């Protein structure tokens, strides 16, 4: 059995959230180990860990084999501060990569960060979406090539939100 979770918490108080997260892991570890449960962690916009490198470092820092990393393609640009360097990210976490979510997204940092209008200006928010593949900026040729390079053969999940009406 595998459970997926995020580094939920306030990005404005990451130290307190990290302490609470490690405390939770310590509390859950005996049950997870006894029942053979795996945990895949995801860095997510507006969580206490939003960046790929920080998430991988935290997952590795537990030194627990049953904790893995989930890479979410529509979060590519949030995970990398707008860089979108999917090859580096996938190669960098290959030893802990257990799940990949597939959907497209626009790079929120494009156009000097002015791609989206946020009201009021300066609000503490993260704009992101899960589009159909081909309706965004995620470099999927690079994603799939990197996954092949690292021999990824685990869970690949499509998670886009429909952008046009579905007719039945």
Rounded distance, CA 100 to CA 75, Å? Answer: 11
What average pLDDT does the structure give for the chain? 91
- According to the model, what pLDDT value does residue 98 have? 97
Average pLDDT over residues 114-125: 76
- According to the model, what pLDDT value does residue 120 have? 81
Sheet with 2-6: list strands edge to edge: 2-6, 38-42, 67-72, 97-102, 155-158
The answer, yes or no, to whether the previous bond of 120 is cis (omega within 30 of 0) is yes
Question: Looking at the predicted structure, is the pLDDT value of residue 166 above 60?
Answer: no
Residue 39 or residue 131, greater confidence: 39
Average pLDDT over residues 109-125: 76
Residue 121 or residue 48, greater confidence: 48
**Which of 83, 67, 65, 66 has its CA nearest to residue 75?**
83
Q: Which of 30-39, 60-69, 116-125 has the lowest mean pLDDT?
A: 116-125
Checking phi first, is residue 90 left (phi over 0); if not, alpha (psi -120 to 50) or beta? alpha
pTM over the 0.75 mark: yes
Average pLDDT over residues 116-143: 86
Question: Looking at the predicted structure, is the pLDDT value of residue 163 above 70?
Answer: no
What percent of the chain clears pLDDT 90, i.e. is strictly above it?
A: 76
Rounded distance, CA 38 to CA 54, Å? Answer: 20
């Amino acid at each position: 059995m595998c459970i997926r979770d995020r580094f939920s918490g306030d990005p404005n108080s990451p130290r307190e959230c990290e302490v609470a997260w490690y405390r939770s892991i310590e509390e859950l570890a005996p049950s997870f180990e006894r029942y053979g449960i795996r945990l895949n962690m995801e860095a997510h916009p507006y969580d206490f860990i939003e960046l790929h490198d920080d998430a991988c470092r935290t997952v590795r820092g537990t030194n627990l084999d049953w904790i893995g990393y989930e890479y979410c393609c529509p979060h590519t640009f949030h995970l990398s501060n707008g860089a979108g360097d999917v090859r580096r990210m996938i190669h960098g976490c290959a030893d802990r990569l257990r799940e990949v979510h597939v959907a497209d997204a626009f790079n929120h940092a494009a156009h000097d960060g002015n791609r989206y209008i946020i009201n009021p200006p300066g609000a503490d928010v993260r704009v992101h979406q899960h589009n159909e593949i081909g309706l965004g900026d995620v470099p999927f040729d690079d994603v799939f090539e990197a996954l092949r390079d690292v021999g990824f053969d685990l869970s690949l999940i499509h998670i886009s939100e429909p952008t046009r009406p579905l007719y039945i």
